[in-house]
Amino acid sequence: MTIRGDVTAVGDGRTVSTQYGERDLVEVTVEPGDAPPRTLTLWGKWTETADYLEPGMELLLTDPEEREWNGETQYATSKGSYVVVEPDYLVDVTDIREWVQCPRQYYLSKLSGLPLKYPVAKGTLVHEVFGDLLRGRDLEAAIDDAVDDAGLELGLLGEDPESVREEVHQHAAAIEGWLNQGLLTEDSAADAASSERAGWHVDDDWRSEYTLISDTFGIKGRCDAIRRGMPVELKTGKNTNRDPRFHDKIQAACYALMLEERGVEADTGTLLYTKNAAVDRAEESGDLSPAKEFSIGPGLLEFVVRSRNRLAAMEHDMTVPTGKESNAKCEYCFSQDACMVVSGRLNQESKAGQIGSMLPEDERDYFEELYEAVEAERREIHAEYAKLWKQSPEERADDDRAVIDLDPDGREELVDGRWRLRARRPAAASSKIREGDRVLASDGDPVHGTAEMGRVERLDEERVVVTTDEPLTLRRLDVYPSELSVSRMLTALHDFVLKGDDRRKDVLFGRAEPSFSDETRDVVPNNEAQNAAVNRALNAEDFALIHGPPGTGKTYTIATLVREFVARGERVLLSAFTNRAVDNALEAVEEQGVTDVVRVGTETGVREDMREHRLENAGGPHEQADRLGAASLVAATTATCGSRVMRSQSFDVVLVDEASQLTEPGALAALNRGARFVLVGDHHQLPPVVQAGGRLTTSLFERLIDEHPEAGVLLESQYRMRQRIQAFSSTEFYGGKLRPASGEVATQSLADLGVSTENVVDGVGFEQVTGTTDAHVDPAEAERVAEVVADYRAAGLDAGQIGVIAPFRAQVGEIGRRVPEGVAVDTVDRFQGSAKEVIVVSFVATGSLDGPIFEDYRRLNVALSRAKKALVLVGDSAALSSDDFYARMLNWARR
Ligand SMILES: Nc1ncnc2c1ncn2[C@@H]1O[C@H](COP(=O)(O)OP(=O)(O)OP(=O)(O)O)[C@@H](O)[C@H]1O
């Protein structure tokens, strides 16, 4: 039994005499939600937890001792109990390890990310080879692949691939030696039985990289290997003591805890210090065997949970650790200087002390405000993880978060040792999961069964194909958001506030005005506003902003700018939030004749026709590093701009497309790389996508346009919509300034396409449907939309020339089933940046209108500005006209 609830009161600690002697206790009251409040008595070491427990935190108690007293049931910690603080906050095993080593180190790593250093690169390499060896791969092939994958990092670090190979060989020798030793021992029946319970087969004596998630302990992680039910962790350092290091034991103990939860008696942990095999025996003494075993007892497991609790409580309060929480030993620490500088500049309490001058108050406030906003966003991701166990599979499927009830349909091992898993879908349903996404693939129970991260190769109405590192029986896919983009936001914030250029900070903190030189050239002769924007950007000594309403040639302007900067001999970084936007901009840049291009991104992320620009084509490590360092134009997403590799690069100027969709720290990740920057966007279209709301919803673009209007230029002429279509958007969002770029654009008609306009709307029209439901879907309206689409098809339009936009995914699904293949049906978010000859907008008629259907008028602006020649709105006018904005829209559409 477990008790779980929100803490409402925490009593004072006291000591009482019991039959076992003097014992400490604290009473805590929790409200389980569906049951009356309960008082829990925490005994002994668990009283420590009460020190940082606060009302509002969630608490979980396993295996409580129950007793009746005065007609009331009382609960207390028993011998086998664990107390877990904020169990929904999934703490990563590596974070617990770091926290135990030093809480301040945990915080600093979170801020500054992993550095581009050889030991880090080597660690990744050896881990990859280890996994491959366990999967039975040939050693040479495994090393070759791993060194190839790390090529660019090795090149940037100036490492010679041959000597790296040599070194990895020595580490691999330790692994192989120990592996062989392991394989000689007989399986015991008990081990076999417990392995079966954990969900892998006994023949799999080994399992590498096992993903574990615990909804009881609030821990997630990926164990390097499991050997007969026991956790094995690989360390590329050396350790000549007989015992593993304490914080390394912690890591293995975390996995043991999660294995025990699954009924596996994991009472022994193994740490494999692979560098021991490379140590010269003549020079070093001590225990040089790489494998160190240790026994995992209840005391250690409880310590792990208490440390995790402390970390989770700190994250709950968003406080900064001081290093005193687990008695860090600063005098031996490599990070001591960095630690003292950070605490000095941000005025934080730190066990190591402070050095350096404190940052001005407004910078510290800014740092704190954004830090909290980013961490709030992280909590939203954790809340998303918690839905894995809080929602039933059916609820998750209904919520578009999972594809369930798959029928496994074979699997094959790929040449690189990974797996391709296939399954059939019994019934097609809508879901957020798309081809190319990273998902959690599982045997049906991602939390208590077997689960692995995978990439969706194919997902259609009938079939699912996923690639994973390890095989499993594929029965379910779940959305599993990554913390990477949040982590990168934090690093970007750190790089800007703590390491940023002084002039940049003066301008962005309002202590100096952005400056411009005043040379003017005729760069874009046919478009006055674009020409002004290009000149503003070329003259900017700090930054420039280009505000481009729909279809005004934002991408064209960026491409022109890139050409001009490159011609001036400057090194340019081109970035945007999504890979799609980066490749789009790059395509326009190529049309401008710029050819010296490097595209940084993963193979699957980069569009096929842009892959030729990937560094992997440049040759070996040194060639790749040289190519990156010498390219006049580098293009990458903003998240990639925050990677170890990109943080080693600097540029004269950074250009960011779709900048109004970026959070401020998201934009900083790119801007930190260059001396000047140009942001291109439109704050009247989609804002940044954030879950937690608050400070992150305002983009840097919007803030700067507001604070420094003189740094921006509005592109006024649009190349997309006929006059009648653009009118509403122009009046409502752009002060009436938007106009068609030419008479041809203004007067375009469906007749230009050679189709008959007799039975269809040519221009703007409204179709009345009667709203009956309050849900996010209206089948009757979907039917009407399908009829409108059929009319356009009958008039002679191709399916590919028609698009349908609906506010909710459920309605998208409803319409998608009713229209011919080739008609694009999607939500607004997927439509930003694209256009169609004809657009039909489904408002999902409801009897009443509680709030704007498209959440935000900016979304509607996007929906209404995708059509070139014809736009049909389908909705319930009675409901729509109850809102002033929609009422004006109706007037315009019905004119
Ligand atoms: N100065 C120009 N001369 C000729 N054609 C132009 C010019 N500027 C833009 N265009 C054309 O107008 C079209 C729209 O331009 P572009 O795709 O750059 O717009 P955008 O503002 O990025 O659009 P969106 O609002 O969808 O992001 C393109 O076909 C582009 O080639």
**CA 524 – ligand 1 centroid, Å:** 13
CA-closest residue to ligand 1 atom 1:
527
The H or E element that residue 813 is part of is helix 809-816
**CA 119 – ligand 1 centroid, Å:** 47
**CA 551 – ligand 1 centroid, Å:** 6
**CA 547 – ligand 1 centroid, Å:** 13
CA-closest residue to ligand 1 atom 28:
553
Average of per-residue pLDDT across 223-227: 90
d(CA 49, CA 240): 35
SS3 679: strand
User: Ligand 1, residues 534, 555, 839: which to mutate, most atoms within 8 A of Cβ?
Assistant: 555
Average of per-residue pLDDT across 149-164: 92
- Mean pLDDT estimate for the chain: 91
d(CA 690, CA 701): 16
Q: Which band of pLDDT confidence, cut at 50, 70 and 90, is reported for residue 849?
A: low
- Taking the CA of residue 555 as reference, the ligand 1 atom at the shortest distance is 18
CATH number 3.40.50.300 given to 502-715: yes
User: Ligand 1, residues 556, 574, 726: which to mutate, most atoms within 8 A of Cβ?
Assistant: 556
Name which of 742, 745, 737, 743 is nearest 721 in CA terms. Answer: 745
Q: Which band of pLDDT confidence, cut at 50, 70 and 90, is reported for residue 284?
A: confident
CA-closest residue to ligand 1 atom 25:
550
Average of per-residue pLDDT across 340-349: 95
CA-closest residue to ligand 1 atom 8:
553
CA-closest residue to ligand 1 atom 3:
526
CB neighbourhood size of 723 (10 A): 15
d(CA 611, CA 620): 17
pLDDT in tens, 525-560: 999 999 999 999 999 999 999 999 999 999 999 999
**CA 687 – ligand 1 centroid, Å:** 21
Q: Where are the alpha helices (DSSP H) in 208-360?
A: 246-261, 298-317, 336-346
**CA 555 – ligand 1 centroid, Å:** 6
The H or E element that residue 264 is part of is none
Phi-psi region of 228 (alpha: psi -120 to 50; beta: other; left: phi over 0): left
Predicted confidence at residue 198, as pLDDT, reads: 47
- Taking the CA of residue 685 as reference, the ligand 1 atom at the shortest distance is 25
**CA 719 – ligand 1 centroid, Å:** 6
**CA 742 – ligand 1 centroid, Å:** 13
The answer, yes or no, to whether residue 851 has pLDDT greater than 60, is no
Name which of 23, 64, 60, 17 is nearest 44 in CA terms. Answer: 23
- Taking the CA of residue 715 as reference, the ligand 1 atom at the shortest distance is 21
The answer, yes or no, to whether residue 184 has pLDDT greater than 50, is no
d(CA 884, CA 890): 10
Question: Looking at residue 354, what DSSP letter applies?
Answer: -
d(CA 425, CA 459): 9
3-state helix, strand, coil in the chain (%, to 5): 40, 20, 35
CA-closest residue to ligand 1 atom 27:
833
Give the pairing type, strands 2-10 and 58-62.
antiparallel
CA-closest residue to ligand 1 atom 15:
553
User: Ligand 1, residues 526, 719, 829: which to mutate, most atoms within 8 A of Cβ?
Assistant: 719
- Taking the CA of residue 719 as reference, the ligand 1 atom at the shortest distance is 12
The answer, yes or no, to whether residue 670 has pLDDT greater than 80, is yes
Q: Which residues line ligand 1 (CB under 6 A)?
A: 524, 526-527, 530, 548, 550-556, 719, 833
- Taking the CA of residue 865 as reference, the ligand 1 atom at the shortest distance is 25
- Taking the CA of residue 549 as reference, the ligand 1 atom at the shortest distance is 25
The answer, yes or no, to whether residue 195 has pLDDT greater than 70, is no
CA-closest residue to ligand 1 atom 18:
553
Farthest CA pair distance, the chain? 95
d(CA 255, CA 337): 33
CA-closest residue to ligand 1 atom 23:
551
pLDDT in tens, 802-828: 999 998 888 888 899 999 999 999 999
d(CA 572, CA 567): 11
Query: What type of residue sits at position 559?
Result: A
**CA 556 – ligand 1 centroid, Å:** 5
Same fold, 502-715 and 743-894: yes
**CA 554 – ligand 1 centroid, Å:** 6
Predicted confidence at residue 205, as pLDDT, reads: 67
The answer, yes or no, to whether residue 476 has pLDDT greater than 50, is yes
Query: What type of residue sits at position 508?
Result: L
Predicted confidence at residue 854, as pLDDT, reads: 67
**CA 548 – ligand 1 centroid, Å:** 10
**CA 285 – ligand 1 centroid, Å:** 70
- Taking the CA of residue 550 as reference, the ligand 1 atom at the shortest distance is 25
Q: Which band of pLDDT confidence, cut at 50, 70 and 90, is reported for residue 430?
A: low
- Taking the CA of residue 834 as reference, the ligand 1 atom at the shortest distance is 26
- Taking the CA of residue 584 as reference, the ligand 1 atom at the shortest distance is 17
Architecture of domain 743-894: 3-Layer(aba) Sandwich (3.40)
Name which of 205, 190, 75, 199 is nearest 135 in CA terms. Answer: 205
Query: Selecting from 2.40.10.10, 3.40.50.1970, 2.40.50.140, 3.40.50.150, what CATH number does the domain 2-85 have?
Result: 2.40.50.140
Output the six-digit token pair for 214.
């615990």
**CA 718 – ligand 1 centroid, Å:** 7
CA-closest residue to ligand 1 atom 26:
833
Output the six-digit token pair for 711.
């740094």
Q: What residue ranges do the domains of the chain occupy?
A: 2-85, 116-182+193-296, 384-483, 502-715, 743-894
Q: Write out the CATH class of domain 384-483.
A: mainly beta
d(CA 889, CA 66): 64
Predicted confidence at residue 193, as pLDDT, reads: 47
- Taking the CA of residue 530 as reference, the ligand 1 atom at the shortest distance is 1
**CA 717 – ligand 1 centroid, Å:** 10
CA-closest residue to ligand 1 atom 19:
553
Average of per-residue pLDDT across 90-98: 96
**Structural contact between residues 344 and 358, judged by C-beta atoms closer than 8 angstroms:** yes
- Taking the CA of residue 833 as reference, the ligand 1 atom at the shortest distance is 26
**How distant is the alpha carbon of residue 774 from its chain centre?**
32
CA-closest residue to ligand 1 atom 11:
553
- Taking the CA of residue 558 as reference, the ligand 1 atom at the shortest distance is 18
CA-closest residue to ligand 1 atom 7:
553
pLDDT in tens, 101-111: 999 999 999 99
d(CA 245, CA 871): 67
**CA 123 – ligand 1 centroid, Å:** 46
pLDDT in tens, 603-630: 888 999 999 999 988 888 999 999 999 9
pLDDT in tens, 61-80: 999 999 888 888 889 999 99
Please report where in the chains the tokens 């340019």 appear, as a residue. 572
**CA 831 – ligand 1 centroid, Å:** 16
- pTM, rounded to two decimals: 0.91
The answer, yes or no, to whether residue 316 has pLDDT greater than 80, is yes
Q: What angle, rounded to 10 degrees, do the helices at 884-894 and 857-864 form?
A: 10
Q: Which band of pLDDT confidence, cut at 50, 70 and 90, is reported for residue 187?
A: very low
Output the six-digit token pair for 730.
């122009």
Predicted confidence at residue 34, as pLDDT, reads: 81
The answer, yes or no, to whether residue 451 has pLDDT greater than 70, is yes
**CA 26 – ligand 1 centroid, Å:** 67
Strands (E), 446-582: 451-459, 463-468, 476-479, 543-547, 572-576
**CA 720 – ligand 1 centroid, Å:** 8
Predicted confidence at residue 847, as pLDDT, reads: 64
Strand partners, 3: 61
Predicted confidence at residue 525, as pLDDT, reads: 93
CA-closest residue to ligand 1 atom 6:
553
CA-closest residue to ligand 1 atom 4:
526
**CA 681 – ligand 1 centroid, Å:** 13
pLDDT in tens, 253-265: 999 999 999 888 8
Distances (CA, A) of 64 to 38, 61, 76, 694: 12, 7, 5, 40
**CA 640 – ligand 1 centroid, Å:** 26
Distances (CA, A) of 750 to 58, 77, 388, 718, 865: 60, 75, 49, 18, 17
Average of per-residue pLDDT across 457-467: 91
- Taking the CA of residue 658 as reference, the ligand 1 atom at the shortest distance is 27
**CA 550 – ligand 1 centroid, Å:** 9
The answer, yes or no, to whether residue 342 has pLDDT greater than 70, is yes
